[in-house]
């Protein structure tokens, strides 16, 4: 986040995605590896200390089998290199969220 603030895009006056001409950049922040949803849910359950309530349904319109973050733009613009695994990041996020919201 700080690297993005320190490297703000130039004001080229060109229309960007969504129609704005104001200088900005949109970045997909993640990694080039797809993570199984049930793995993420398991990490959330473990850190929260309770089982998720799930209603397993077949694939819905618009669902995708796998997703991958395309981080080429943020790597090029600010040198971003993912270094936190979901095994570390998900529990850290839950702890931060609980502390921030006094939950």
pTM for the whole structure: 0.75
Report the percent of the chain where pLDDT is more than 70.
99
16 pLDDT above the threshold of 90:
no
28, part of any domain: no
- Give per-residue pLDDT as tens, 43-82: 999 999 999 999 999 999 999 888 888 899 999 999 999 9
* Structure confidence at residue 52 (pLDDT): 97
48, part of any domain: yes
* Structure confidence at residue 26 (pLDDT): 86
DSSP secondary structure letters along 16-85 = -TTS--S-------S-SS---HHHHHHHHHHHHTS----------TT--S------HHHHHHH-------
Tokens of 3: 């690297």
Q: How far apart are CA 74 and CA 80, in angstroms?
A: 6
59, part of any domain: no
Q: How far apart are CA 48 and CA 91, in angstroms?
A: 9
Report the residue count for the chain.
Answer: 103
97, part of any domain: yes
Q: How many domains does the chain have?
A: 1
Quote the domain boundaries for residue 41: 34-53+83-103
* Structure confidence at residue 87 (pLDDT): 96
């Amino acid at each position: 986040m700080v690297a993005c603030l320190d490297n703000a895009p130039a004001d080229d006056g060109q229309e960007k995605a969504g129609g704005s001409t104001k200088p900005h950049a949109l970045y997909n922040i993640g990694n080039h590896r797809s993570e199984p949803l049930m793995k993420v849910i398991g990490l959330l359950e473990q850190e929260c200390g309770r089982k998720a309530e799930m209603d397993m349904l077949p694939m819905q319109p618009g669902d995708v089998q796998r997703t991958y973050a395309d981080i080429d733009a943020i790597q090029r613009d600010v040198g971003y290199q993912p270094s936190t695994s979901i095994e570390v990041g998900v529990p850290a996020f839950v702890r931060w969220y609980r502390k921030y919201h006094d939950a």
